[in-house]
Amino acid sequence: MEQRSDEYASRRETVWGLLVWAAVFVIFFAGGFAAHRISVRRAAEAATRPMGVFWEAWDIVEQNFYGEVPSARVRTYGAIRGFLALLDDPYTVFLEPQPGEVERDRLAGAYGGIGVDLWRDAENRVVLSPYAGSPAEAAGVRNGDFLLAVDSRPVVTATIEEIQARLHGEVGTQVLLTLSRPPTPTLPFTLTVVRQQIQVPSVSYRLLDRDPTIGYLAITSFTERTPQEVEEALRALLGDGASRLIIDLRNNGGGLIQPAVDVCDQFLDRGVILYEVRKDHRERAFRAHRGGLASDLPLVILVNGSTASASEMMAGSLRVHGRAVLVGEPTYGKGSVQLIFTLSDGSSLHVTNAVWLLPDRQPLPETGLTPDIPVAPGGGLEDVQLDRAVRYLQEGE
C-alpha cells in the first residue's frame, strides 16, 4: 500500500464527507425492515438540510430500535466500511485507529515501543519474543513468555494489532506487562518496560557461503528507511567482493512507492523506472539517475505469490530494462496506487488513486508477473529457488 505526502491532507474533509453521505445506505437500509410512516413535514425539512435524511434516520433508530444500539463510533466505522464495499476495490480500505497506528509505524520503519514479536499459539495464548538488545529484553522479558495484560488490561480477546498498538507509545513512557512463564504459566508476574525508539530493519544481506562472489539481499517491505538500508547493504557487499547479486523479494507485500523507486535507482543508470497514471489520465514518470551502485552487476530476483505491489513494480521494471531475471513463482498481481489519509481520530483511509505502468508502458498483469525461470518452492529445508538463482548466475542458464 503506497503512501503519499501531506500534500493530500487537504482532501481529508472531502473524503470524509463522501463517506458520511454514503453511511445512510449502509446503516439504515441494509437488510429487511418494517415500514414506518414519517411525516411529510419532517421529510421536507430533511430534504432542505445537508445530510438531513441521514441524521433523521440516525435519530429514529436511536429512539425506536428494540435492542442495544451500537455506539456512534461503531456505526460510523460500519458505514465507512459499507460505503467502501460499494466501490468494489479490495485496496480501498479503512483502518480503525489502533491498526492504523501500527501500520504507520511499520511504514516508517521505526516506532516508540518495547521491541518484541508476538503471536498467538495453538492454545490462543499471546507469546512474546524480545528483540536482541531491546527494552523488553533489558527489562527481563524472555523468549516464550506469555503476555496476559498490558497496563492491567487483559489481552485475551484483543487482536494482535490491538496489542501492538497498546505496546507502542511515546519514547520514554512506561508500559506495565503482566506475564507468565513456562514451566509455571499459571503464576503471573509484572514487569515495567520503558519505551524506546525501535528500528525495524527491512533489509538483510550476506555473501553466500557456497559462492562468496554472490551477494544475497533480502527486502521484506518498502519503508521510509529501506533506501538507506539497501545502500548500506550494497556498499558492504561490494566492499566484500560481491560481483553478482540475488535480490529476494519473496513474501514482500509492498509498502511505500517512493522508497521502492529509490531502491530501483541503485540498479539502473538511465531510463524510466515506472509510470503512474491517475484517473484524470495525468501521467507521471519516475526516472533513474546516473550513479547507481549496482547498475552493471548481473542480477537475479526471487519472487513468489506473496511478492506484491511495490515489490512487483521493482521486479517488473528491472526485467523490462534487461537488468534482472526473475526466478520462482508468479507474483500477486497488484498494479494500483493508494493514497493514505490519516483521519481526525487516528484512523486511516486508503484510497486507490492511480495505476502503474512498467517502463514499456504495459500495466502489471492481474495474474502477476510470470518468472523467467519457474521454480516451485520445494518441501524440505533446502531453498531450491535460491539454488536455481545461484546456478543461473554461475552458469548463465
Q: What is the pLDDT, as a whole number, of residue 13?
A: 42
pLDDT at position 36 over 60: no
pLDDT in tens, 160-197: 888 988 999 889 999 999 999 988 877 899 999 999 99
Does domain 203-395 bear CATH number 3.40.50.970?
A: no
Work out the pLDDT band at 51, boundaries 50, 70, 90.
Answer: low
279 is catalytic: no
**Which range (28-37, 214-223, 256-265, 355-364) has the least confidence?**
28-37
pLDDT in tens, 293-349: 999 999 999 999 999 999 999 999 999 999 999 999 999 999 998 988 989 988 999
Closest CA relative to residue 160, chosen from 124, 119, 107, 112: 119
Q: What is the pLDDT, as a whole number, of residue 31?
A: 36
Q: What is the pLDDT, as a whole number, of residue 52?
A: 78
Average the pLDDT over 250-273 and give the result. Answer: 95
Percent of the chain surpassing pLDDT 90: 63
Q: What is the pLDDT, as a whole number, of residue 99?
A: 79
**Which range (33-37, 60-64, 134-138, 266-270) has the least confidence?**
33-37
The span from the CA of 375 to the CA of 144, in Å, is 35
Q: What is the pLDDT, as a whole number, of residue 50?
A: 64
Domain with CATH 2.30.42.10 in the chain: 110-199
Grid cell 466505522 — which residue? 77
pLDDT at position 29 over 80: no
Dihedral sign (CA 135, 164, 71, 347): positive
pLDDT at position 205 over 60: yes
Partner residues linked to 120 by β-bridges? 126
334 is catalytic: yes
The span from the CA of 201 to the CA of 378, in Å, is 27
- Topology at the third CATH level for domain 110-199: Pdz3 Domain (2.30.42)
**Contact criterion met (CB below 8 Å) for 330 and 371:** yes
pLDDT in tens, 61-79: 888 999 898 898 888 898 8
Q: Does residue 70 have a cis bond before it (omega within 30 degrees)?
A: no
Catalytic residue among 311, 334, 336, 348: 334
The span from the CA of 316 to the CA of 106, in Å, is 24
**Contact criterion met (CB below 8 Å) for 88 and 96:** no
Domain with CATH 3.90.226.10 in the chain: 203-395
Query: Exposed/middle/buried for 397, CB within 10 Å: 0-12, 13-18, 19+?
Result: exposed
Catalytic residue among 202, 221, 295, 309: 309
Q: What is the pLDDT, as a whole number, of residue 16?
A: 45
pLDDT at position 256 over 60: yes
Query: Exposed/middle/buried for 191, CB within 10 Å: 0-12, 13-18, 19+?
Result: middle
Q: What is the pLDDT, as a whole number, of residue 44?
A: 54
Q: What is the pLDDT, as a whole number, of residue 353?
A: 92
Closest CA relative to residue 11, chosen from 369, 239, 353, 269: 353
User: Could you tell me how many residues make up the chain?
Assistant: 397
